[in-house]
Amino acid sequence: MIKLWLIPLLLLTPSLARASQVTPKFTQGSMQATTVTTQTVTEVIDQEIFGGNYSSWTGTNIKVNSGSYTAGDAVFGIVDEDEPWQLETVIRPAGVVEQIDIDRSITTNSTTTSLSVFSQ
């Protein structure tokens, strides 16, 4: 019975820790480390640009004989047939007027080299 109380007593008794001196076995040296990394960024851009209903006409020596240009039933005529004439019409319904689709990948390669020189 007396021996059982001896075990906790030995466990609770502090022991001394002693450090050993370490003496390096080298006098000089160097170390080189190289790190290679690759990064890839993939970018996707899908863009739609919407516009409203648009209609216009312009010209020289031109007139609207009948109908309405905005209704789409205009009949154009030449004012003076002896003179040159020009007519430009633009009719665009509302909706997508431009679409941009870009798919690209950007790859970056990086190499880092470090050199450490040491001596005693």
- d(CA 113, CA 75) in angstroms, rounded, equals 77
**Which residues pair with residue 60 across a beta bridge?**
86
pLDDT of residue 96: 94
Q: Is residue 11 part of a domain?
A: no
Q: Is residue 2 part of a domain?
A: no
Q: Is residue 76 part of a domain?
A: yes
Full domain range(s) for residue 36: 31-119
- d(CA 76, CA 72) in angstroms, rounded, equals 12
Q: Is residue 85 part of a domain?
A: yes
How far, in Å, are 10, 49, 54, 64 from residue 99 at the CA level?
83, 6, 18, 34
Give me the amino acid identity at 28: Q
Q: Give the pLDDT confidence of 2-54 residue by residue, as tens digits.
A: 566 667 666 666 666 677 777 767 678 888 999 999 999 999 999 999 999 88
Q: Is residue 21 part of a domain?
A: no
Q: Is residue 53 part of a domain?
A: yes
The SS3 of residue 106 is: strand
- d(CA 1, CA 16) in angstroms, rounded, equals 29
> How many domains would you assign to the chain?
1
Q: Is residue 13 part of a domain?
A: no
Q: Is residue 12 part of a domain?
A: no
Q: Give the pLDDT confidence of 64-119 residue by residue, as tens digits.
A: 888 877 777 888 999 999 999 999 988 888 999 999 999 999 999 999 999 998 87
| Residues 88 and 19 sit within 8 Å (Cβ to Cβ) | no
